[in-house]
Amino acid sequence: MREVVAETRTHRSSLIQPHFCLPKDAGSEAIASMPGIERQGLQDLLKTVATDLKLGIQSVLLFGLAGDGAKDATGSRSAAPDSAVTEAVRALKAEFGDELLVMTDVCLCAYTDHGHCGVLQDGEVLNDPSLPLLANMAIAHADAGADVVAPSDMMDGRVAAIRGGLDAAGHTGVSLISYAVKYASAWYGPFRDAAASAPGHGDRKSYQMDPRNSREALREAALDEEEGADMLMVKPALSYLDVIAALRDSTLLPVVAYNVSGEYSAVKAAADRGWLDEASVVNETLTSIARAGANLTITYHAREALREGWIS
């Protein structure tokens, strides 16, 4: 009876697995703050994705590392035709074709020497001069064959700039998931280790959202929708389930939630000490995100949740 009347169901087709791509052909590196997740070179990534596809993971979100000595003030390598991400996109699409939905993160912070998501002048992040750089990065990913680009920088107007850039380059069929509602959150800590993208000075509060605001979240989302976003993301997920629910009520677009690195690592650390039952906690977490209204969830737990049967 309990099963028959359940109001929320989680399904593997709604899960997106993130990957950290190294600018090299093979090899992998453990990420100390994210047990079970690795940075991978191309051949290792192809093997991981092949196994994940068998588990039913149809979607991946790719993050790139710039590599040693490759960062500069404007993050030039972000739009290179031979970045870790473009190489990964090309290889994944060649190998798996339409079986795999390939999404790429679009942001400058892993490529700038100061670690901010836009370009700087006198220590301040400049909004408008960052827009063409983000558009060029998205075009490079689309040229390589990306199905979806996902800008995470939080500059105003970047959805319109990227959509315009993609269309002008002939990529009218490439979709855009906007990190529309991205809070200035402490839950991103482990990710910044993983992607080597921590800001060298200051914080991201001039461009990411204040956790105290939720009306502003709906305003940000509405602007991105007007500018041409195909899906809207809320990030992080767990401290912001109310925002996911409010956004689900206010838009007809698919809503995506990002169950971020810190949310993953906190569960891992507690489970490792025997303080939490990981299987039940992950099931409850993914169920709560779906119940709040997310149609898709990006989660580092995707692979383990399916392999271990933590969700159906």
- Given candidates 91, 260, 302, 311, which one binds ligand PBG under the rule CB under 6 A? 260
Binder of residue 85, out of ligand PBG, Zn ion, none (CB less than 5 to 8 A by kind): none
Per the residue annotation, which of 54, 71, 93, 235 is the catalytic one?
Answer: 235
Q: How far is the CB of 201 from ligand PBG (least distance, A)?
A: 14
Taking the least distance from each CB to Zn ion, the nearer of 107 and 260 is 107
Task: Give the binding range for ligand PBG (CB under 6 A) out of 135-143, 190-198, 275-283, 284-292.
Answer: 190-198
- Given candidates 42, 57, 109, 181, which one binds ligand PBG under the rule CB under 6 A? 109
106 binds Zn ion (CB under 5 A): no
The span from the CA of 188 to the CA of 265, in Å, is 10
Number of other CB atoms surrounding residue 274 within 10 Å:
7
Scan residues 276-295 and list those touching ligand PBG (CB under 6 A): none
| List of long-range contacts for 53-57, beta carbons under 8 Å, 24+ apart | 53/96, 53/99, 53/100, 55/12, 55/303, 55/306, 55/307, 56/12, 56/13, 56/306, 57/12, 57/15, 57/16, 57/17, 57/302, 57/303, 57/306
Binder of residue 183, out of Zn ion, ligand PBG, none (CB less than 5 to 8 A by kind): none
Please report, as a single letter, which amino acid is at residue 11: H
Q: With CB under 5 A, what is the number of residues at the site for Zn ion?
A: 3
- Given candidates 191, 207, 240, 310, which one binds ligand PBG under the rule CB under 6 A? 191
Question: Virtual CA dihedral for 189, 224, 12, 83, nearest 10 degrees?
Answer: -60
107 binds ligand PBG (CB under 6 A): yes
The span from the CA of 141 to the CA of 184, in Å, is 26
**Among this protein's residues, is 24 annotated catalytic?**
no
For the chain, give the longest Cα–Cα distance. 63
Residues of 127-158 as b/e, b for ≥16 C-beta within 10 angstroms? beebbebbbbbbbbbbbbbbbbbbbbbbbbeb
Using CB under 6 A as the criterion, what x/- string covers residues 150-189 for binding ligand PBG? --xx----------------------------------x-
Among residues 190, 239, 206, 230, the alpha carbon closest in space to that of 36 is found at 190
Binder of residue 188, out of Zn ion, ligand PBG, none (CB less than 5 to 8 A by kind): ligand PBG
Q: How far is the CB of 195 from ligand PBG (least distance, A)?
A: 7
- Given candidates 17, 178, 261, 265, which one binds ligand PBG under the rule CB under 6 A? 261
How far does CA 254 lie from the centroid of its chain? Answer: 15
- Given candidates 37, 117, 180, 267, which one binds ligand PBG under the rule CB under 6 A? 117
62 binds ligand PBG (CB under 6 A): no
The span from the CA of 197 to the CA of 205, in Å, is 15
Per the residue annotation, which of 54, 71, 93, 182 is the catalytic one?
Answer: 182
The span from the CA of 35 to the CA of 33, in Å, is 6
Interface residue list for Zn ion (CB under 5 A): 107, 109, 117
Active-site positions read 182, 235
